[in-house]
């Protein structure tokens, strides 16, 4: 955000999570799944399809345990839940310290909201770094209530809706 931009009249700022707040590294994630011998799962990540186990977890159709079971079934593998979670979390890069500081600075003057397609695995990894920065989250459905971010973020895995849907709040 340009510090010289005229923000007169602006009270709220909405941020996306992946690729904006947290950096993404698709290649590192692919390599992690391949390292575990989960080549078939790596192709799901590569294609970012909207009809697979990743999407099902993203919109809350399945939980983490079912996600890991399905990953093992698809790949005929015996890797642990922890290994699968590690590989999937390799998609996430860092949340740069300057971003956290900038968000804290903005929070002094604006209400900050987070709007995101995410899943419980990725959210769990980043939750502590973002604690207290966002007062509320923007729901992915017009009918979803505004809830406090900490533990109640109406992420796509909670609402069952993707942020790319037309019935999205924006």
| Active site (catalytic) residues | 16
- What element of type H or E holds 41? helix 39-47
Sign for the CA dihedral angle at 83, 122, 67, 40 comes to: negative
Q: How many CB atoms lie within 10 A of CB 40?
A: 13
Bridge partners, residue 113, by sequence: 14, 136
Contact call for residues 140 and 104 (beta carbons, < 8 A):
no
- Say whether 112 sits in a helix, a strand or coil: strand
Pairing of strands 111-115, 12-16: parallel
């Amino acid at each position: 955000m340009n510090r010289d931009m005229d923000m007169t009249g602006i009270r709220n700022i909405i941020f996306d999570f992946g690729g904006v707040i947290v950096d993404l590294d698709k290649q590192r994630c692919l390599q992690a799944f391949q390292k575990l011998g989960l080549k078939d799962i790596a192709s799901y990540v590569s294609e970012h399809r909207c009809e697979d186990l990743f999407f099902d977890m993203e919109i809350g159709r399945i939980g983490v345990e079912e996600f890991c079971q399905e990953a093992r079934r698809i790949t005929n593998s015996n890797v642990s839940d922890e290994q699968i979670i590690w590989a999937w979390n390799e998609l996430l890069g860092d949340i740069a310290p300057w971003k956290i500081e900038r968000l804290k600075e903005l929070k002094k003057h604006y209400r900050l909201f987070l709007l995101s397609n995410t899943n419980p695995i990725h959210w769990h990894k980043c939750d502590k770094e973002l604690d207290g920065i966002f007062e509320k989250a923007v729901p992915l459905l017009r009918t979803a209530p505004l809830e406090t971010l900490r533990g109640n973020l109406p992420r796509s895995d909670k609402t069952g809706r993707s942020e790319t849907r037309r019935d999205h709040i924006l």
